[in-house]
Structure 1
Amino acid sequence: MSPNVLRWLSLVALLWLQSLNGTNLSFPAYSSQLKEFLSISQFKLNYLSFASDAGKVLGFIAGIAAVHLPLPLVLLAGGSLGFAGYGLQYLCIVKKMFTLSFPQIWILSFVAGNSICWINTACYIVAIDSFPVNRQVAVGITAGYQGLSGKIYTDMVHAFFYSSQREAASGYLLLNSLVPLVACLVTAPMLMRDAKTSSCSSRDVRFGFIVLFIITIATGVYAVATSLVPAPAVLVLVGIVLLLLAPIVIPVGVRVKEFMIARRTQHKVHDLEAPMEEDQTKEEEFDEKAIVGVKEEVEWTKLWRKLDFWIYFGLYLFGPTVGMVFMNNLGQIAESRGCVATSSLVALSSSFGFFGRLLPSLLDYFFSRNKYMPSSPVSMAVSLVAMVASFLLLLIDSDVSLYVSTAMIGVFSGALTSLSVTMTAELFGTKNFGVNHNIVIVSIPIGSFSFGSLAAKGYRDGATFSEGLDGKCFGMYCFQTTLISWGMFCSIAAVLATVLYLRNRKFYWHKP
């Protein structure tokens, strides 16, 4: 199989992996049931949510491992950690095969959260290596598919486990443990790390990405439509599976084209096309080596000396992390407002998050050479201002504002996640990207604990005020102060994004 076919096949494998790797995105759909199973308070539920994010503290180990180990092995390590973390919780909480203390369950959640870092690291490195000139596009699309995970797991649970709320919760734990491991086993042989050494005409690459964009947009539209309009869960799931399989047409098409060219060349008496193909190869090899848009290569051991790193760290802490904390608390926010369709909200946020993660890639691919195209920090600042507006909209007591705000936060939080991956490579280089980005996202567990505890305190105080049963809080005031605080944090992040742009404006002005 040729290198060109392999690198497209690798990208397809990444799409499959990422669409099943966001197991933490389904947590809001079963968090209320988990709270009842374990008979724990809102604070302890927040600690479990934090545990999943805290697993990212050790994410840098995955980055170091990716430097020294084959990427398929890194991938399988991630799948195995998730299998252990979620699987043991399933056997303990659902099957009652043994008893675990709360700290032990916390550790299992920590391990499950860390597993995502291993799979993400392998996926991002393969995407960057396979398409170095179009790395924003490749990384953005793969990150976008991870945003679909909440929707996919919700559909699977509705199709196979939704006879009761308790069975639904057990379904999430079981699927979270098994599905990513199976996906890793299936896709590990398809990963090609050194695909950047291959040559391919720029016309073929452009055509491949255009086809992929069409499939991706169709997938997103289908996900949003089936989240808003009720439909049989099995049929919805079948449609998602078919759309996930659709990108395989690209490597198949590349293979067919190569086969046809080889046959035509064998039957030519006068080989007139050989010089043209050689020129195409040389042109693409030149483009592949002329990797642009990287400010400097920074080793991870020296990252802490850079002021840009600390500004960026604060930006990630007060920006994308707040969006993740909102998603973690979405179940309780919906419950407190009397909305029972929590799983629908999770599917909605996941579907719009998919589009949000994809949007930077679309803009970069089609408008990157436009002088009016905003840089990554500016795009992040705009997204953060929109997040502030979304949190303020949530203060309105209506189901419409809840659904609209959830969709908006999904879009802009997804865009921030995609942009952050690219900005890490721009500011600190691609050589040590696997470690550097995992160090940046250490801000996630810090924010998850701090901002999540703030939400838990507001919820507890509201429950005391309303004398809610079993410590539950009902009413707009349960999260009112929390939502205002989250909006303020996003405002701080927008300011930091602006500062980051001003410090690096010369770099972004001269970036091709």
Structure 2
Amino acid sequence: MVLLALPLIIPACSSCSHVDTDGPNPASPLNHDDPHKPLLISNNHQMESNAMVQKPMEHQTQGNCCGTIVGKGHLAALGEEHSAKKLIRCVDFWLYYTAYFCGATVGLVYSNNLGQIAQSLQQQSQLTMLLAVYSSCSFFGRLLSALPDILHRKVSLARTGWLAAALVPMPMAFFLMWNQQDAITLVAGTALVGLSSGFIFAAAVSVTSELFGPNSVGVNHNILITNIPLGSFLYGQIAAMVYDGNGQKITVMDNSTGIVDTMIVCMGMKCYSTTFFLWACITFLGLASSIVLFIRTKPAYGAAASRSSCKHLHQVSS
């Protein structure tokens, strides 16, 4: 438990070292339109963008039964700096944290248990191929995380929308493996989990920078990834409890030392069927959280895109 708490020490110390964290930090929206322009723009543009964003958000949340969740405490503009104390009070951060905790971290735990999963399903001969499939798909998922930057002129989708889209294959894969556990399904599910988790791992830094400020991205991202050891412990315990509950104790003796050891071995679909179902439900929760995050941050991305378009038209006309 002490090791699980260690990732929280550095962000906590950093937040304590800043005495001005209670006040609002200067925010500078990001400029993604022109690579030759500075990444941050002036505070005058920020004030204008804040006014542009707040009005549509107020209009959207009126008469909406989910307005408290979707509209309250939304981001005023992209790139607004968040200190550690301000970050942990931000609703959008916890939606983002939940999406990561219930998404990519589950995929990481799945890869750690892939050897035992293959053994219990009597697919030991396919273990090397399964590991290769997961590694390859995770790599291609990381490459696909560049699509928001490549297609930002053609596809007007917020980066949080891409994050939500990347989480869609995860619950599908686990529901598929829960329903049918043969060699083909295991390979297909492993590929989907690898693609999804790889995309999220690579895109997370950019999302953190855009939502909570580029200057604080180091500390803020370290706070975000505290979910990895916590999730690994929790999801690993779930898998271990289901495995041990369905396994049988066998006694093994080492001929060289004469030491007798007892171990639990589980074979068949029952070993991970319940685990796959629970992981599917957890990743579905992560998907729902990412969708809410996308809805809440969409006006901020829209305001940034409109501002970039106006600047581009002004440059063309001049």
**Of 443, 454, 470, which aligns to 2:238?**
454
Q: Note if contact 2:78-2:301 (Cα within 8 Å) is conserved in structure 1.
A: no
Cross-structure match for 2:51: none
Cross-structure match for 2:211: 427
CA distance in 2, matches of 1:384, 1:365: 19
Cross-structure match for 1:444: 228
Q: Note if contact 1:322-1:447 (Cα within 8 Å) is conserved in structure 2.
A: yes
The unaligned stretches of length 5 or more in structure 1 are 1-46, 65-131, 135-200, 203-283
CA distance in 2, matches of 1:406, 1:56: 29
Identity across the alignment (%): 33
Cross-structure match for 1:298: 82
Deviations 1:209-268 (A, max 9, x none): xxxxxxxxxxxxxxxxxxxxxxxxxxxxxxxxxxxxxxxxxxxxxxxxxxxxxxxxxxxx
CA distance in 2, matches of 1:397, 1:405: 10
CA distance in 2, matches of 1:55, 1:381: 29
The correspondence of residues 93-112 of structure 1 with structure 2, limited to 5 A, is none
CA distance in 1, matches of 2:275, 2:120: 13
Q: CA deviation at 1:416?
A: 1.4
3-state SS of 2:81 partner: coil
The correspondence of residues 4-403 of structure 1 with structure 2, limited to 5 A, is 56-58=7-9, 60=11, 284=36, 286-288=37-39, 290=41, 294-340=78-124, 341-361=126-146, 363-370=147-154, 372-395=155-178, 396-403=180-187
CA distance in 1, matches of 2:238, 2:128: 24
Is 2:280 aligned against 1:492?
Answer: no
Q: Note if contact 2:205-2:217 (Cα within 8 Å) is conserved in structure 1.
A: no
* Alignment root-mean-square deviation, CA: 2.9
> What letter matches 1:346 in structure 2?
L
Residues 378 and 479 of structure 1: CA distance in aligned 2, closer, same or farther (over 3 Å)? same
Deviations 1:384-406 (A, max 9, x none): 22111111221312111111111
Q: CA deviation at 1:295?
A: 3.5
Q: CA deviation at 1:308?
A: 1.4
CA distance in 1, matches of 2:81, 2:165: 27
Deviations 1:107-152 (A, max 9, x none): xxxxxxxxxxxxxxxxxxxxxxxxx977xxxxxxxxxxxxxxxxxx
Cross-structure match for 1:77: none
Q: CA deviation at 1:364?
A: 2.2
Cross-structure match for 2:300: 507
Q: CA deviation at 1:419?
A: 2.3
CA distance in 1, matches of 2:243, 2:10: 31
Q: CA deviation at 1:457?
A: 0.2
Q: CA deviation at 1:511?
A: 2.9
CA distance in 2, matches of 1:509, 1:405: 35
Residues 387 and 426 of structure 1: CA distance in aligned 2, closer, same or farther (over 3 Å)? same
Cross-structure match for 1:413: 197
Q: CA deviation at 1:337?
A: 0.8
> What letter matches 1:498 in structure 2?
I
| TM superposition score normalised by structure 2 | 0.69
Residues 423 and 463 of structure 1: CA distance in aligned 2, closer, same or farther (over 3 Å)? same
Cross-structure match for 2:268: 475
> What letter matches 2:159 in structure 1?
S
**Larger helix percent:** 1
Q: CA deviation at 1:289?
A: 5.2
Deviations 1:273-308 (A, max 9, x none): xxxxxxxxxxx3x44555998331111232112111
Q: CA deviation at 1:444?
A: 1.5
CA distance in 2, matches of 1:433, 1:426: 9
CA distance in 1, matches of 2:250, 2:170: 30
4+ residue runs over 6 A deviation:
61-64
Q: Note if contact 1:298-1:429 (Cα within 8 Å) is conserved in structure 2.
A: yes
Q: CA deviation at 1:425?
A: 0.8
The unaligned stretches of length 5 or more in structure 2 are 16-29, 47-76, 252-262, 306-318
Q: CA deviation at 1:316?
A: 1.6
CA distance in 2, matches of 1:511, 1:133: 8
Higher relative contact order (CA 8 A, sep 6+): 2
Deviations 1:372-393 (A, max 9, x none): 3422222222222211111122
CA distance in 1, matches of 2:150, 2:86: 35
Aligned residues: 244
Deviations 1:457-489 (A, max 9, x none): 00001113xx56631111111010010010101
CA distance in 2, matches of 1:409, 1:62: 35
Residues 391 and 427 of structure 1: CA distance in aligned 2, closer, same or farther (over 3 Å)? same
3-state SS of 1:368 partner: coil
Q: CA deviation at 1:343?
A: 3.5
Q: Note if contact 1:61-1:435 (Cα within 8 Å) is conserved in structure 2.
A: no
Cross-structure match for 1:84: none
